[in-house]
Structure 1
Amino acid sequence: MREVISISASHRTNHVLTQFYNCQEEQLRDFDSENEPGVFLNPVVDRISKTVSYKPRALLWDAKTGNGALGAHQYSSTKDFFYGSENQKPKDLLSQTGVKVIQTHEPIPKSEYQTALDTNTPTPSLSDQNCKYWSDYSKLIFGASNLNILDHWYHNVENPSAPDFENLHQTYFDNYETGFQEFATNYCSDFFDEKLRAQLEMCDELQGINLLSEVDNGWGGFSSSMLSNIRDELPKINILTWGFNEDDALSLGQSIRSTKTKFQTLCNKIRSTLSLVQESNLFFPIYSDPELPLWTFAGRTCMLFDAINSCASNRESENRCTFNQMIGKITSGEPQRNIVSTLGIKGLDFSFYSRIPTYKGSSQKTYSHLSILRGQENEATDDCTIKTYPWRPSDTIPEQLKGITNYTTNLAVTERPRDVFRHWEAMVSRYFRYDTDREELKEELGRLAETYEEGWYDDYDSGDDV
């Protein structure tokens, strides 16, 4: 078995991973499925009842209350927590259980969908209104071994990407350095000793890791620190990193310093991206569309995430494409070009880099491309094509996407990152006047830009605000 562990750092990316594992659960119902479930799910055999249950090979990070109504020990046998009905108050529980009850925050009511799953009754239809939390519609059980919580940061309902320090509405998780130090100082040892190594012990032969994180806020620094330590722990493992990007002043064509928030977003994005690209085998810059609520966004993004991961879980070895093989196909033997800047399905553009303006007449050369055919009749005829099984969307996927089971995913490494890095290099040169890492950032951005350049450009005289 060649297993894949997925690590998610942020409330947004937890929605995406939830949709993915829901689709994995859907395939368990298909006895003729071409998917090997053990790649992404850990089978647990009960020899007495002769049944098998499946747990996600996943580690999710969120702020306090970001898990919604889901308790870390809700579906385990521990007696450390009491889960009463929604109309029970903490003072009522004391007389019933004889234990001390501590209420740390107002309880979040369980969703109708989860209640229906727990009681084995028909599930209600889902929408953006009843799927505010990823746990509202999670079908597989994420328990204490899967969940990780930021101790001092609370979920911010108004801005899920920026948790609130101690719920004081004064300091938010919106800075690269804050996130970097948070993981390095408070979580690094425990995460590896208690969580990641436990997942690794459940694998026979790990083929790779998915890391999903936002890059515009504190989660970017948090995941950068985490990935650096993972690389130290597992230097040879293949890591696919999914960086989720919000719009910024550059993508919107506004003045860089139009607001302090937009400038900070760009600073976070630059530092996070450089760190994640350096430590990853492949980097996917995903666009976080602000017009899409999290549930809809996750369902749509799952089409891309599921397609790429499906290649690694084909039951038949001759049809399987491991992470290592896929990396070789996408990079065409040039591992330093590891940013997949073209990400398209059926007219949907998932790439954030396609939103960045070109920089001084870039030729937009395509260095390599790969097509993933899902459930289509035509065969894979060359090294630039992979054929995989049809998508089996869960009932939690938005209705307008459920009928799309056969489709082509187009991936490519192009010259587009050169535009991004040259814009960022000019910005650092002009605006990072007193930052201690200014010269280091300029050097790294220039090096990366040259990696994706075709030909020679006279572009070092730029310093204009864009």
Structure 2
Amino acid sequence: MHEILTIQLGHRANYVATHFWNTQNRDGNVVLHQDPGIEQSEFQRSLDEGVPSAQKLSTETVRYWSDFNRVFYHPRSIVQINDYELGSTLMPFEKWESGEELFASMDRDVDLLDRDVRVWAEECDQMQGIQVFTGGDDAWSAFAAKYVESLRDEFGKVSIWTWGFEEEQGKGQKAKQLLRTVNAARMISEMSTHASMYIPLSIPSTQLPQYVHFDRTSQWHTSALLSAALESITLPTRLRHDTQKRGFLDNLEGALNVHGNHRIAQLRCSMLDPETAPLVIATTNGTTDDRAPSANNGTLVEEDGLKLAEPRLDMDLSCCNARSPSPFATQHDVSDHVFGVVETTRTKVEAARDEEAEEGEITYARKRRRFAGLPVIERYHSSLECPILDSFPPILSFSPGLTQVAVHTSLSTTSGISNRVKALQRVVSRMANLDERETLSNGLGQISEAYENGWHSGSDESDD
């Protein structure tokens, strides 16, 4: 077994993670330990009684992430924070300094890694990595930055993947938007140093595909969409080796972080009715074949004489495309250079399969493409479609009574990320505190250059 240790930090992260764990949950022997607590929702009572819920979940009945949770947590898994009140207007948990202070005070009282992480790491037989779910633009981002820094010091060579969930762009007052932007810039700067991969996620502010209908003010709705994409792209890390090709976190990281300094990735996805799902991908089982439909018309895209896979996907959940009017788009800009791509397709429709390449052949092909400056492509396919549980909100307008959907996801590192980082750098140069403005701006500049070097100059200035 190759376990992944998961850490959830913050209310927004718990919403996404609850959908994530609900999807992993399976029937089995359950022992209930009950203590007096707050009144359960109708959905929770029906789960405990083992009967279908007479009342369907709705935005009115889901008050917290625990109201639609289907999983029984270990008593040591949940850590309560008493310093801040959820949704407080007097002491909102929004400023970067608040997150740093909270981490310092908690870590001073008791070593957080000893209490919360080490006991679970010792339970693992072969831990393949750690994944962190956290807010990406509030005080939890600062808390997560300190947490990941401590994890890196303790687990030097372990893959640490961080998923940062940001607020929808343009939401709230102007001052709060600027505060979130500076927090997001700090988060990217910190994660580029300590995390193996950092994926900032947010709901697109642009028009969504016609099959998605949700309430943007409901975290139950928005987190479900993010979780479905996240759960699907990481599916290869949870597959059994005897059934389908699996990929560990470090395998995915190797395809994305091509040059060793590409630690920020962007996530895209499409969802399809499994009854009518077309053949989306041209090859499966993680092969390195270069042929795949293009983003524009299903043909092959030429890049430097070789062909690049660029399937059309409906939703960009990444916050990383700063060239469009909003930071979201449905496909890579035609001028973006793609460094690495990991694609996961979940559909019962079998794709045309090439002869499975030996591991040595795959490694050689990857080195050859990297040397030529071409994208490294890793593809996975699974017949396990994404389950639609009764805890999943009714946001997809597919066939009535649908219990599964086909999902196609893509995680990539592209030169377009440089535009997002530059946009953050411009805000930081005006809005960040004076004592950290220069350091943070220079750090973001170095991150931006990492997605330009070897591809284009990225500057009109002449070299010294």
Give the TM-score normalised by structure 1: 0.73
Following superposition, the deviation at residue 192 of structure 1 comes to 1.6
Q: Matched residue of 1:147: which SS?
A: coil
Equivalent positions of 1:320-399 (< 5 A) are 320-331=246-257, 333-346=258-271, 347-354=314-321, 357=324, 363-375=335-347, 376-378=349-351, 381=354, 383-388=377-382, 389-399=384-394
Question: What per-residue deviation string (whole Å, max 9, x for no partner) do you get for residues 380-411 of structure 1?
Answer: 65853111232233221123445553221122
The 8 Å contact of residues 267 and 318 in structure 2, kept in 1 or not, is answered as yes
Instruction: Indicate yes or no: 2:98 matched with 1:178.
Output: yes
Equivalent positions of 1:106-185 (< 5 A) are 108-123=38-53, 124-156=55-87, 164=88, 169-185=89-105
Q: Take 1:274 and 1:446, find their aligned partners in 2: how far apart are those partners?
A: 10
Q: Matched residue of 1:230: which SS?
A: helix
Q: Which residue of the partner structure matches residue 199 of structure 1?
A: 120
Q: Which residue of the partner structure matches residue 284 of structure 1?
A: 199
The 8 Å contact of residues 131 and 295 in structure 1, kept in 2 or not, is answered as yes
Q: Which residue of the partner structure matches residue 226 of structure 1?
A: 147
The 8 Å contact of residues 265 and 411 in structure 2, kept in 1 or not, is answered as yes
Q: Matched residue of 1:405: which SS?
A: strand
Equivalent positions of 1:264-283 (< 5 A) are 264-283=179-198
Cα gap change, 1:115 to 1:416, in 2 (>3 Å): same
Q: Which residue of the partner structure matches residue 71 of structure 1?
A: none
Question: What per-residue deviation string (whole Å, max 9, x for no partner) do you get for residues 283-329 of structure 1?
Answer: 11101468251111122112111112210111125611111111112
Q: Take 1:8 and 1:355, find their aligned partners in 2: how far apart are those partners?
A: 28
Question: What per-residue deviation string (whole Å, max 9, x for no partner) do you get for residues 116-151 of structure 1?
Answer: 112223213222221221111111112421101212
Q: Take 1:217 and 1:172, find their aligned partners in 2: how far apart are those partners?
A: 10
Q: Take 1:177 and 1:457, find their aligned partners in 2: how far apart are those partners?
A: 33
Question: What per-residue deviation string (whole Å, max 9, x for no partner) do you get for residues 327-351 of structure 1?
Answer: 11233x3231121124222412212
Cα gap change, 1:16 to 1:407, in 2 (>3 Å): same
Question: What per-residue deviation string (whole Å, max 9, x for no partner) do you get for residues 59-102 of structure 1?
Answer: xxxxxxxxxxxxxxxx547xxxx517xxxxxxxxxxxxxxxxxx
Cα gap change, 1:285 to 1:211, in 2 (>3 Å): same
Q: Mind listing any 5+ residue stretches in structure 2 that lack a counterpart?
A: 206-215, 272-313, 328-332, 355-361, 363-376, 397-401
Q: Take 1:459 and 1:109, find their aligned partners in 2: how far apart are those partners?
A: 62
Following superposition, the deviation at residue 201 of structure 1 comes to 2.2
Q: Matched residue of 1:150: which SS?
A: coil
Q: Matched residue of 1:413: which SS?
A: strand
Deviates more, 1:235-244 or 1:186-195: 186-195
Cα gap change, 1:199 to 1:395, in 2 (>3 Å): same
Following superposition, the deviation at residue 23 of structure 1 comes to 1.0
Cα gap change, 1:400 to 1:357, in 2 (>3 Å): closer
Following superposition, the deviation at residue 3 of structure 1 comes to 0.4
Q: Mind listing any 5+ residue stretches in structure 1 that lack a counterpart?
A: 30-50, 55-74, 85-107, 157-163, 462-466
Q: Percent identity at matched positions? A: 23
Q: Take 2:113 and 2:42, find their aligned partners in 1: how far apart are those partners?
A: 35
Instruction: Give the counterpart letter for 1:368 in structure 2.
Output: G
Q: Matched residue of 2:388: which SS?
A: coil
The number of aligned residues is: 371
Instruction: Give the counterpart letter for 1:443 in structure 2.
Output: N
The 8 Å contact of residues 204 and 316 in structure 2, kept in 1 or not, is answered as no
Root mean square deviation, CA, Å: 2.8
Q: Which residue of the partner structure matches residue 36 of structure 2?
A: 83
Question: What per-residue deviation string (whole Å, max 9, x for no partner) do you get for residues 343-382 of structure 1?
Answer: 22241221212356489x9932222222211134115658
